Amino acid sequence: MARKEKIQELDVIRGLAFLAVVMQHTLGAYIRQPAVQTSESILLGMLFNISKFAVPAFVFVTGIVLFYNYFDSFSYITFIKKRAKEILVPYLLWTCIYELYSNGIPVVTMTWIKSFAKNIVLGREYYHLWFVVMIFQFYLVFPILSSIFRWFYRRITNVRRFVIVFGLLTVLFASYMWFVLNGIIGGQIHSTSYIFKFFARFIDRNFVSWLYYFLLGGIVGVSINKWREFIIQSINWNSFVFVFCFVWVGHDLLQGMSAGRVDLNYSTSLKPSMFFYSISEILIIYGISFVIIRKQSLIYSLLKWFGDYSYGAYLVHALVLIYAVKLTNYLLPAHAFLWKTFVAAGICSLAAVFFTYLISKMSYVSILAGSARKKKIVLVK
C-alpha cells in the first residue's frame, strides 16, 4: 500500500465552496423580494458573482482527488461501487425526502413512478440536486478521461508543450461556452434532433459543460507540488486578471437589469466571461487556502469541518434554508435584505453541517451523510 499525504488545501476549498453554494441559494430567496431597492439589488448581485466559484470549485476538487489517487491504476468496479454507496445512495434517500416534503405521501401509480424516476435520473426533484447527477457522470467516464489524459501527459515533456496544449484546451472551452451562450441559451441554433434538444435542455447538468474544471483538477492531481509553486507565482498577475474579470461579469449582470433589479440568470456559469472569471477565482481561492492552513486558526478548523461534511450538508441545506429564512425574517427588520442574506446563510450553513455531523454518528441513518468523514492519510493500492 502506498501512502499519499492528504492535500490539506482541499478541505478549505470544499468548505468555502459549500458556503458559497449556501450564499447563492440564500441570495435567491431575497433578491427577488418586491421591496428590494436598486442599490441593494446590485450589491446582492455582486455578492452572487463572488460566490459563483462554488460549482466549478467542487468539480475542480473532484478532478484533483480522482487523478491524485487513481491516475496510475484502479479497479473500476470497486471504484464505482464505493462511489455509488457514498454518493448515489444518499442522493436517492434525500430525493425521496424532498418528494415527501414537496408533495406529501404519493399515490403510487405508473404515471407517478415514471415521473419520479425521471426526476431521479435528471436531478429535478429539488433545485439543487442536479449537481449530484452532473458530478456522478465524471465517476462513470473517469476511465476514459484518465486514458486520454494519460496519453497527453506522456507526450507533454516540457513547459512549452504544456502551455500550448493547455492554451488550446482553454480556447476550446471558451469557444464551447460562447456556443452555449449564443447558440443554445440565446436560441440562435435550432435543430429537430432529439439528441440536440435533450442536450440543450439539460446543458447545465451535462458533464461536458464542466469538463474543463475537472481536467484542470487532473493537472493539479498529477503535479501537486508544481501547482503549489504556480499558485504562489500567480498571485500578482492573477490579482489583476481577477479584478478585470469581476468587472466583466459585473457589467454583464448590470446589462440584464430590468425595472431597477438585477437578473441572476445573467450570471450563468455557461458563458465565456464567467468561465474566465471562475478560473481566476479558483486560483485566488487556492492561494487563500495556503494562508488559512498556515495560521491553523479557528477559521481553518471551521472550514475543515464544513469541508468534511460538505456533501451531506449540501443535500440537506435546501431544506434547512427554508426555515433559516423564516427565522431570519422573524429576527430582523423587514427591509434589511443584505443583513438577512448573511444571517440566513450563516444559520443555514451551521445547521446543515451540524445536522450532517450528528447523523454521521448514528449507525442507522449515517448513510444520509454520504462520505462525511475524511482521513488525513489516503491509502491507495
String of DSSP letters for 98-130: HHHHHH-S----HHHHHHHHHHHHHT-SSTTTH
Eight-state DSSP code of residue 208? G
Residue 360 contacts residue 369 (beta carbons within 8 Å): yes
Q: For residue 339, which of 52, 47, 50, 53 has the smallest C-alpha distance?
A: 47
Residue 7 φ/ψ region, left for φ over 0, alpha for ψ in the -120 to 50 degree band, beta for the rest: beta
- d(CA 79, CA 227) in angstroms, rounded, equals 26
Q: How far apart are CA 121 and CA 118, in angstroms?
A: 5
User: How far is residue 259's CA from residue 373's CA, in Å, rounded to a whole number?
Assistant: 47
Residue 122 CB coordination number (10 Å): 15
Q: Distance between CA 140 and CA 14 in Å, rounded?
A: 22
How many Cβ atoms sit within 10 Å of the Cβ of residue 141?
A: 13
**DSSP per-residue string spanning 124-167:** -SSTTTHHHHHHHHHHHHHHHHHHHHHHHHHH--SHHHHHHHHH
- Render each residue's pLDDT in the chain as its tens digit; 381 residues: 456 788 899 999 999 999 999 999 999 999 988 888 888 999 999 999 999 999 999 999 999 999 999 988 788 999 999 999 999 999 999 999 999 999 999 888 999 999 999 999 999 999 999 999 999 999 999 999 999 998 888 878 777 888 888 889 999 999 989 888 887 766 667 667 777 777 778 888 899 999 999 999 999 999 899 999 999 999 999 999 999 999 999 999 998 888 778 888 888 898 999 999 999 999 999 999 999 998 888 999 999 999 999 999 999 999 999 999 999 999 998 888 999 999 999 999 999 999 999 999 887 778 888 776 544 333 333
- Assess contact for 141 and 208: CB atoms under 8 A: no
The three-point CA angle 281-352-309 to 5° equals 65
CA separation for the pair 131, 18 (Å, rounded): 12
Going from N- to C-terminal start, the domains of the chain cover 2-380
Q: What angle do CA 87, 90, 96 make, to 5 degrees?
A: 135
| pTM greater than 0.75 (yes/no) | yes
Separation CA 66–CA 84 (nearest Å): 15
Residue 261 forms beta bridges with which residues?
Answer: 258
DSSP collapsed to 3 states, 296-343: CCHHHHHHHHHHHCHHHHHHHHHHHHHHHHHHHHHHCCCCCHHHHHHH
In whole angstroms, what is the distance from residue 60 CA to residue 218 CA?
8
Rg (CA), the chain: 21
